[in-house]
A and B are shown apart, each in its own frame.
Chain A
Amino acid sequence: MKNARTYQFASKPSIVSTAVAVGPLEKQSPFLPHFDLVYDDERFGQETNEKGHAYLIEETCKLAIMKGGFQTTDIDLLLAGDLVNQITPTNFAARELATPFMGMFSACATSISTLITASFFLESNLMERVLFGSASQHNSVEKQFRYPIEYGAQKPPTGQWTVTGGGFGILSHFQRDKPYVHSATIGKVVDCELKDPLDMGSAMAPAAFDTIQYHLSQNKGTSYDFVMTGDLGKNGSALLQELIRTSGVSSYLVDQYRDAGAEFYGNNDKFLSGASGAGCSATVYFGPIYAELLKKQWKKILFVATGALLSPLSFQQGESIPCIAHAVELSMD
């Protein structure tokens, strides 16, 4: 059962409901039909961006609970995180939701690290329903990591656009007609000594490669509809495919490789290399892809969410960008 990094979940914990909410700019996304809530105000009618961020999390969580036909009191645990300092938006949303809560931070890989952790709680049979997911709000995350929003700095083609959006789901015991977590691989921190914070895709690709390679080696013979990384962007995806091509990992994988960040805003050059943020993978995984799984369009998907574990301080002190990737294999019978 135990083999270092990959775990199989015999109880087949199922994602019984999900909800996805986004901001105004995300209307340009080809995934728009699968977003449950689309707001016209990037601050969600709140005074500050940070309050808007918390509101986005709160509303998305409430909707996920409602869509599953539950009450907040039915939730045994909320496992969530975001990218702002000390994950305050999530903490504040948890205050309003008043469910038992633990915050998690895996940067943009939080969507999957929370799902993996939730799977363990379900597998242990000590919990019934765990609410998991992550979110990001463009303005507050940019404020945290980069320049002021109105500052006229030129972004290079490798730059990415932080998504305003949140994706949350409820994991419960196995249900026949819902996608379930088959197995998961916990990422290791990989650092290829890249230092450009405007090129996260390149920094994260080796972490994604490491996790994908390990997961596939533990699940030999499984065929996937596709493997979907979180927010490598167009540039990072190209690098990951190059790593896969040169390493000799099963070549069938390459044709079936997708990236949520690269696809998020379609082929719009305005968004440079594509989307990023903790809300990027969460909205795509738990919105459109979950919907297709429900329809049995696809049967087996490997989600690999990637996160860049830097801070503005570590970057200014000349540190490189350590990265991580967590993987979850979702199945639909």
Chain B
Amino acid sequence: MDAKAYQQTVEQLAPKRPVLRNCLAAFLTGGIICGIGQIISFIFMYFFPFTERTSSNPTVATMVFIAMVLTGLGIYKKIGQFGGAGSAVPVTGFGNAVISAAIEHKSEGFILGVGGNMFKLAGSVIVYGVFSAFVVALIKTILVQVGVINW
């Protein structure tokens, strides 16, 4: 059988992904998650001694915590199937990736199972997140030294 010809048939007959619906669902889901994050951020600013700048850390921690609870209850994967990138891109998606791997590998014990596999999905986010932050910081430092911009 001709592989190339068959691949064309596959493309022709493939069920179309509902792109518009997926985009809307992602927009809504992501928007709602970020909206909740903003409310939590305001709470930290109004009721606790945080500024707009310092409130981001406890907000992220709270959002990740909520994502972890939802993952444990089996709700986050349903949100994921509906929202796609809308629930994967915000920090809650990161929390989901960590806790789902931890739950999955609990049967292999806390060291080799949970500890060894917790970051198997989220690990690359950390690696490339830290690396790109380093590169951006380097560029900014150089620009400040040269005198193009200020801190």
Contact = CB atoms under 8 A, between A and B. Distances in A.
B107 A150 contact: no
Interface in A128-176: 143, 147-158
Nearest to A246: B9
B133 to A, nearest CB: 25
B20 interface: no
A143 B104 contact: yes
Given A157-B17, A192-B1, A152 B104 contact: no
Given A152-B77, A155-B81, A210-B1, A235 B13 contact: yes
10 contacts: A48-B107, A148-B103, A148-B121, A150-B96, A152-B76, A153-B88, A154-B81, A194-B7, A202-B14, A239-B9
A314 B87 CA distance: 29
Interface string B1-22: 1010011011001111100001
B116 interface: no
B3 A49 contact: no
Contact of B7 (A193, A209, A242): A193
B30 interface: no
Contacts of A234: 15
Interface of A: 47-50, 143, 147-158, 190-194, 199, 202, 206, 209-210, 234-235, 238-239, 242-243, 273
A151 B87 CA distance: 11
B79 interface: yes
A206 B104 contact: no
B13 A242 contact: yes
B17 A152 contact: no
A150 B81 contact: no
B99 to A, nearest CB: 7
A48 B15 CA distance: 36
B13 to A, nearest CB: 6
A157 B15 contact: yes
B37 interface: no
A240 to B, nearest CB: 10
Contacts of A238: 13
Contacts of A49: 107
A194 B3 CA distance: 9
Nearest to A157: B15
A150 B1 contact: no
B104 A158 contact: no
The SS class assigned to the A binding surface is loop
Contacts of A209: 1
B63 interface: no
Given A147-B100, A151-B96, A157-B17, A206 B6 contact: yes
Interface string B83-121: 111011000010011011101110100000000000001
A48, A49, A157, A192: residue with the most chain B Cβ atoms closer than 10 Å? A192
Nearest to A50: B107
A49 B99 CA distance: 18
Contacts of B121: 147-148, 151
Given A147-B100, A192-B7, A194-B7, A158 B14 contact: yes
B2 to A, nearest CB: 9
A150 B71 contact: yes
A187 B119 CA distance: 40
Contacts of B35: none
Contacts of B14: 158, 199, 202, 235
A152 B9 contact: no
A150 B99 contact: yes
B74 interface: yes
B100 A150 contact: yes
Among A149, A153, A191, A234, residue most surrounded by chain B Cβ atoms (within 10 Å): A153
A234 B78 CA distance: 22
B87 A152 contact: yes
B103 to A, nearest CB: 6
Contacts of B93: 152
B9 A150 contact: no
Contact of A150 (B15, B74, B83, B84): B74
Task: List 4 tightest A-B contacts by C-beta distance, closest first.
Answer: A152-B80, A148-B104, A150-B100, A148-B100
Interface in B52-92: 71-72, 74, 76-81, 83-85, 87-88
Contact of B1 (A48, A147, A206): A206
Contacts of B100: 147-152
B43 to A, nearest CB: 25
